């Protein structure tokens, strides 16, 4: 193609390329959910007095010089608990000061995760205000403040997720891969889903934005549902159910419809509580199925899986604020589930042995 022909092609497609560029920019903004706190989007805060039914609501909004000032607002970003109006005002003043005075510097991680200046300033102001006033951790956008280490928001959860990923890879390649059983394909797919889940968890705890949140929540739900499906297939094989292929196909299709429905509704209207509820339902179903298996087809590792799963869910539900802005209940959940993941991989290896899989 000559240079003239190339220029003609470029000119004729300039409008299309411009629209694609605009769409890509909008799509990135949607995924990253840049929490820009400029004049058009106020920083809103709410306080709930534990001794009264009424709520005290205040907010920060931009003024003409680009700074932030207080004003009444019905929405909220910060949620205060058992704090007096004086304490709330001191926190708001400190937060405002730290937000306006902070000049963010960009690192490679900031660029990779497309962190906006406002998001960096919000994170800095949130942590700095809490440390300066030496008060309890206050949630911002339903998230506690954490001390960034190595540019990671929750460094302990990152490290524990990485260890779980490493354990999954080692166990699969040393104890599961190559040992043929009727469930070989299911175990291989489960390994791939587990790897995706742990990688998504690592990304989320490096930086919590819309795309990492979707990846983490949706892959975790997929993993839980697939664990349940694998145990069900194991039980159907063991009980020698007739027409097992037809039965498992119907179960798989039903689970697929449920998963697609949950993902669709959370993409269009994200609801973490509803998503956690669905995950909890399938965790219970998984535990019931695996306990049934332990009764009829014993596996010495099932008891560890059940106990550690219950402990992990209990710890996660406690919602303990971060100790020293580093260690919180979610990190402890990762620790417990990391141990559970170790025993679950041992459980799979034992299942393969019980079904006659050769080393």
Segment 324-336, tens digit of pLDDT? 888 889 999 999 9
Residue 287's nearest CA partner among 312, 256, 315 is 312
Calculate mean pLDDT across residues 339-349.
Answer: 90
Task: Output the pLDDT for position 304.
Answer: 93
Residue 60, beta-bridge partner list: 43, 70
Q: Specify the pLDDT at position 16.
A: 57
d(CA 131, CA 137): 9
- Note the pTM of the prediction, 2 decimals: 0.76
pLDDT on residue 279: 93
Q: Which residues fall within 8 angstroms of residue 231, CB to CB, at 6 or more apart?
A: 286, 289, 290, 293
pLDDT digits (tens, 9 = 90+) for 276-289: 899 999 999 999 99
Partner residues linked to 79 by β-bridges: 46, 139
Q: Give residue-wise pLDDT tens across range 61-108.
A: 444 444 444 344 323 577 777 777 787 888 888 888 888 887 777 777
pLDDT, mean of residues 181-188: 84
**pLDDT for residue 297 is more than 70:** yes
CA distances (Å), origin 68, targets 37, 40, 140, 142, 231: 9, 12, 17, 21, 55
Segment of 22-36, 65-79, 166-180 carrying the highest mean pLDDT: 166-180
Confidence of residue 231 (pLDDT cuts 50, 70, 90): very high
* pLDDT(53) > 50: no
**1, pLDDT greater than 80:** no
């Amino acid at each position: 193609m000559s240079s003239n022909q190339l220029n003609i092609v470029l000119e004729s497609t300039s409008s299309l390329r411009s629209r694609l560029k605009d769409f890509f920019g909008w799509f990135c903004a949607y995924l990253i959910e840049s929490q820009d706190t400029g004049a058009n989007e106020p920083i809103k805060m709410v306080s709930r007095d534990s001794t009264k039914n009424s709520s005290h609501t205040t907010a920060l909004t931009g003024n003409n010089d680009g700074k932030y000032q207080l004003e009444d607002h019905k929405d909220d970003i910060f949620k205060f608990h058992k704090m007096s109006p004086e304490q709330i005002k001191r926190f708001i003043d400190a937060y405002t000061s730290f937000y306006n005075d902070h000049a963010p510097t960009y690192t490679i991680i900031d660029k990779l995760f497309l962190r906006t200046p406002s998001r960096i300033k919000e994170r800095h102001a949130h942590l700095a205000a809490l440390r300066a006033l030496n008060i309890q951790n206050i949630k911002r956008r339903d998230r506690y403040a954490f001390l960034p280490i190595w540019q990671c928001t929750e460094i302990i959860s990152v490290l524990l997720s990485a260890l779980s990923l490493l354990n999954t890879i080692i166990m699969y390649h040393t104890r599961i891969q190559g040992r043929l059983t009727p469930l070989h394909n299911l175990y291989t797919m489960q390994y791939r889903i587990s790897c995706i889940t742990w990688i998504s968890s690592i990304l989320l705890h490096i930086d919590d934005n819309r795309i990492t949140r979707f990846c983490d929540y949706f892959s975790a739900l997929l993993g839980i549902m697939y664990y349940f499906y694998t145990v069900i297939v194991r039980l159907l094989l063991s009980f020698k159910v007739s027409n097992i292929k037809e039965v498992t196909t119907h179960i798989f299709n039903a689970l697929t419809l449920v998963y697609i429905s949950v993902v669709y509704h959370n993409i269009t209207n994200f609801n973490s509580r509803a998503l956690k509820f669905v995950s909890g339902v399938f965790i219970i179903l998984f535990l019931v199925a695996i306990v049934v298996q332990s009764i009829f087809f014993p596996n010495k590792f099932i008891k560890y899986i059940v106990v550690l799963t219950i402990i992990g869910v209990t710890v996660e539900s406690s919602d303990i604020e971060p100790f020293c802005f580093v260690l919180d209940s979610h990190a402890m959940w990762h620790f417990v589930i990391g141990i559970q993941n170790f025993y679950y991989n041992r459980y799979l290896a034992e299942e393969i042995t019980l079904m006659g899989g050769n080393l």
